[in-house]
Chains A and B, each alone.
Chain A
Amino acid sequence: MIRHLLSGADLDAATATEILDTAAEMATVAGREVKKLPALRGRTVVNLFYEDSTRTRISFEAAAKRLSADVINFSAKGSSVAKGESLKDTALTLQAMGADAVVVRHPASGAPHRLANWVDGSVVNAGDGTHEHPTQALLDAYTMRSRLGRLDGLHVAIVGDVLHSRVARSNVLLLSTLGAKVTLVGPPTLIPVDISPALAPGTDVSYDLDAVLPGVDVVMMLRVQRERMNDSYFPSAREYARRYGLDGPRMRRLPGHAIVMHPGPMNRGMEITPEVADSPRSTIVEQVANGVSVRMAVLYLLLGGNNR
């Protein structure tokens, strides 16, 4: 097993599949009356969050607690430089406290990589800047596999602000490793340069959502911040929604089996309409539940729970 989970690229197909299979076992725990396993008893997991993200933090917290780990929540909002203690000093502090795993959310891309140089425990990237969010990609893959029965050969459209999306980067890497085909869709201003060679050869780009929808098994809508229009990425929220938002008529262009995903939190009326978000195709609530199972699997495998 790998020691850290920093990027979707850290996972080969066998490791990713092992995590998904383990997550399926973990999911059975959630259905029990006592939702707890003793696997990580006596181990310490630190949630080190430099950004507000209640949903990701509580998901990791629930995952660690269901495995009986001791959980320390360390909220250090704001940049480490601006607020005093450096990331390195924080890392050395956590190291001295005997953290077995550090789950880190940070506004600076690459901060988990830096942290991994300074601690002996495992580092799990819970979202770094505009870089990656690998456990989100794992839970998305898990959700696709549960709904559609496979990942190999699936066609997944990821729609929206790919440029600023850590979810998109991790998903492109992981889905291509697992044999799915990805088409990125959005206005050209929000698609980063050289995306295909940078992440996964064979990744397609389209600027036309309507043309892509009839041929996909999964459409994943990314959160788009309205403020992006102030930096001329698009003229207005209304124009964005008209061209790239998923509404009822667009949803009906999808094949009958296709599912609609969103990592949350949603901007209802911007990238997705309530009709779509609340439709039976939507997996948005399932994704949240699956997140706990997948993060249990990640912590369990990284901390060697299977070797004890």
Chain B
Amino acid sequence: MTAYLIRNVSVVGGAPTDLLIRDGVVAETGAGLAAPDATVLDATGLVALPGLVDLHTHLREPGREDAETVESGSRAAALGGYTAVCAMANTSPVADTAGVVEQVWRLGREAGLVDVQPIGAVTVGLAGERLAELGAMADSAARVRIFSDDGHCVADPKLMRRALEYVKAFDGVIAQHAEEPRLTEGAQMHEGEVSTRLGLTGWPAVAEEAIIARDVLLAEHVGSRLHICHVSTAGSVEVLRHAKARGVKVTAEVTPHHLLLTDEKAASYDPVYKVNPPLRTAADVAALRAALAEGVIDIVATDHAPHAVEDKECEWAYARPGMLGLETALSIALDVLGPQWDLIAERMSRAPARIAGLDGHGLDPAPGVPANLTLVDPAARRVVEPAELASRSRNTPYARMTLPGRIVATFLRGEPTVLDGKAVK
């Protein structure tokens, strides 16, 4: 195993130092380290962060390998500074059995670019009718701890209660896609001024807020852990603030796109901006940014959702919802939060690793810690070119936008997955 000596790097924004990586761990830190056998990387001006952890990734395999595979998604993740991603269950077949989650887990190991932690479905076939074999998935080689019907809400309150209770046996968490389905029938975009103008059926904020309110009360009642996927409205932030103040064990994520883009983007009718939950108003964006800084929202998660060209190059109403996120998330966090490295490390690595129970991840580089880390050039600016992305799909809403920051290198257990901004394999 090659050793790496990273010179003059700012660890999570601290004073420049050296990092020696050997045998999969951070062996030493300090100024002026010597290691004649090590490959030296000059990291002057770069910031080292604990490898990013994405709690919400769609890798599309099995089923839609034309849009993404575990391998291509893993490569996109590594290029985005990630060392672990949690793969959502809405594949085909659905990841609702030990067999499917083990398959995804094994494909992740074979790709070897990030740790792929499968998420299991809450209900059989995501149908919202009966529980999937949650315990079997938890006991499998994939050791599933997060369960989600993402893409669909677990709308039945009794089923949601049972799911929350059941996973306590193995310290599981239910990640809820909060969307009251009766309030979003045919919905195409945020319900408001822009949807009225564009004649697109509205997705009202209350459809999200009502489910979050219900579920924090359920979680409180049964004493379970609840995670809220892709929070998108100012009203949801207030419900979460209230729940956290009461001591409910709830965590929440926000996506990069909900931190940056608004529903005005729909005016082009270009479905690259169609996503679920939809892009909201500038007031929602402001509330989400404040909540992320404050900690009412715990983490940034990408909801990386690759789609084939034909599923986006069509009429808005017929397009599939979702956008790419892995390769641009850190840049957007940097744009939104500024160079607050400790906050970025907390929201994009430490906290998601804690929620997911990923022991070797989310740890700041220090002697003895697994060398899962990424090096960021905060001074770089780059123009997003869809054709240059490692994802198999091209549905980025940031095409030709100039974003700050660039991932220079990523290490997974001491092995580089990205060097010089390029994937190693």
Residues in A lying within 8 Å of B, measured CB to CB: 79-81, 86-88, 106-111, 113-114, 128-132, 166, 169, 192-195, 197-199
Seed contacts A109-B317, A111-B269, A169-B199; 7 additional CB < 8 Å A-B pairs: A79-B315, A110-B269, A128-B199, A131-B198, A132-B199, A192-B196, A197-B193
Q: Which residue of A lies closest to B200 (CB)?
A: A109
Bound: A80/B192 CA distance, A: 28
Interchain nearest-CB distance for A259 vs B (Å):
26
Q: Is the CB–CB distance between A80 and B196 below 8 Å?
A: no
Q: Is the CB–CB distance between A114 and B269 below 8 Å?
A: yes
CB-defined contacts of A79 to chain B, threshold 8 Å:
315, 318
Bound: A198/B202 CA distance, A: 13
Bound: A196/B64 CA distance, A: 43
Q: Is the CB–CB distance between B315 and A110 below 8 Å?
A: yes
Interchain nearest-CB distance for A240 vs B (Å):
21
Tell me which of A129, A166, A194 contacts B196 (CB under 8 A): A194
Which of B201, B202, B314 has the most C-beta atoms of chain A within 10 angstroms of its own C-beta?
B314
Interface check B197, CB cutoff 8 A: yes
Scoring B residues 312 to 327 as 1 if CB is less than 8 Å from chain A, else 0, what string do you get? Answer: 0111111000000000
CB-defined contacts of B195 to chain A, threshold 8 Å:
192-193
Interchain nearest-CB distance for A209 vs B (Å):
21
CB-defined contacts of A195 to chain B, threshold 8 Å:
196
Bound: A129/B200 CA distance, A: 8
Q: Is the CB–CB distance between B201 and A130 below 8 Å?
A: yes
Bound: A132/B268 CA distance, A: 15
Question: Which residues 150-207 of B sit at the A interface, judged by CB distance below 8 A?
Answer: 188, 191-202
Residues in B lying within 8 Å of A, measured CB to CB: 188, 191-202, 268-270, 310, 313-318
Q: Is the CB–CB distance between A108 and B318 below 8 Å?
A: yes
Bound: A81/B198 CA distance, A: 21
**Interchain residue pairs with CB less than 8 A apart (5):** A80-B318, A109-B198, A113-B269, A129-B317, A130-B201
Tell me which of B193, B197, B270, B315 contacts A108 (CB under 8 A): B315
Tell me which of B188, B192, B313 contacts A86 (CB under 8 A): B313
Q: Is the CB–CB distance between A113 and B268 below 8 Å?
A: yes
Interchain nearest-CB distance for B194 vs A (Å):
7
Q: Is the CB–CB distance between A111 and B193 below 8 Å?
A: no
CB-defined contacts of B316 to chain A, threshold 8 Å:
108-110, 114
Q: Which residue of B lies closest to A195 (CB)?
A: B196
Q: Is the CB–CB distance between A198 and B196 below 8 Å?
A: yes
Q: Is the CB–CB distance between A129 and B199 below 8 Å?
A: yes
Q: Which residue of B lies closest to A130 (CB)?
A: B199
CB-defined contacts of A108 to chain B, threshold 8 Å:
315-318
CB-defined contacts of B192 to chain A, threshold 8 Å:
193-194
Q: Which residue of B lies closest to A170 (CB)?
A: B199
Q: Which residue of B lies closest to A128 (CB)?
A: B199
Bound: A114/B315 CA distance, A: 7
